[in-house]
Amino acid sequence: MALCFELGAEENILRQSVREFAEKEIRPVARELDAKEEFSYELTAKMAEMGLFGIFVSPEYGGSGLGYVPYIIAVEEIARVDGSQAATVAAGNSLGIGPIYYFGNEAQKKKWLPKLCAGEMLAGFGLTEPLAGSDAGGSRTKAELDGNEWVLNGSKIFITNAANDLSGVTVVQAVTGKKSDGRKEYSCFLVPADANGLTAKPMHGKMMWRASNTAELYFDDVRLPTAALLGNRGDGFRQMLSTLDGGRLSIGAMGLGGAQGAFDLALNYAQERKQFGQALIEFQATQHKLANMAMEIEAARNLLYKACWLKDEHKPYGKLAAMGKLYCSEVMGRVVNEAVQIHGGYGLMQDYDVERFFRDQKLLTIGEGTSEIQRMVIARHLTS
């Protein structure tokens, strides 16, 4: 059996170009954007110009057609510098573009994907509700059929990319009835940002991803044509679970990139900072910290890339997606903790980027399914 542990020239060129962009364009403004809780239209436009939206989408719909491994590398390199900008790209692709690309009909794809891939608009993913987080089956948002229209009522919360001037459409899960066994029937709808009865409110005061756009959505008799139904009626829950599998890969990439970024900061600081007459890197305790950090990052990268390769090869990848998301997010937690420790008191100051990395990490063990939920998902795969 042949094993390959080396990326191709195309992937390496992509990594280098995204890394250079992140260092040149994002790093100089990341701290200020974080402090102001400011979504950057300028950076989003530049990321779109680089083709970072729709990387895995076929060119016939405006995408690059490169696949999931290149997409994950791009998210990783953005996250190496700033979690907020990585969140915009990850949510815009995995959660916004993904369900339309994989489950939309031809008319829906042609209507939405070219604009989304070009970055002319962003798409959101309306699953989480005030009373339905990890329990996605607890959704209360309802859609009732009234003649040839669906009438949507309810609310969503913590929805990325859904309350800014680029917000174009949100994929919304709603209860559309009951199945023969008495369980709720879920369906997904494509809700335009300008739909009558839709209110989108930006959420502020976040601990992390402060420069990404997060929204509360309220649906008050939002009327949608039957053509807004994504796929078939009753397919919503399956569509959401499949979307979350792909989304876990991007959250894993954010954890991996964030861990690499924090490690780089810690390594540089350890080489420059002197204590007791020598650089921190000369102390065995520091060397052991850095060695453990590097080892875990390497293991995380191999696990995540394998999961992405499985998806590109159309092989079952759900178990490794959950493993990758869980491991990469928790690895970043351990890495940023040690990175702050190496920085000492300076690591607690906003003048040092490692402080922002420390805050940004926490969402990764909560969003796209908590660490507890990931372990449940993995266990189900082991016993199925």
- The residues annotated with a catalytic role in the active site are 368
DSSP annotation of 369 reads S
* Residue corresponding to tokens 């992140």: 22
Question: Three-class SS of residue 139?
Answer: coil
Contact 157, 199 (CB under 8 A): no
Report phi then psi at 4, rounded to 5. Answer: -125, 125
CA distance 71 to 76: 9
Q: Where are the alpha helices (DSSP H) in 50-200?
A: 68-79, 83-90, 98-103, 106-117
| 86-89 contact pairs (CB < 8 A, 24+) | 86/253, 86/254, 86/257, 86/258, 87/160, 87/209, 87/212, 87/254, 88/39, 88/44, 88/47, 88/122, 88/160, 88/161, 88/212, 88/213, 89/47, 89/52, 89/53
CA distance 168 to 259: 32
Contact 167, 124 (CB under 8 A): yes
Contact 79, 253 (CB under 8 A): yes
CA distance 265 to 268: 5
Structure token pair of residue 232: 């078939």
Cα dihedral 259, 265, 269, 270, rounded to 10, equals: 30
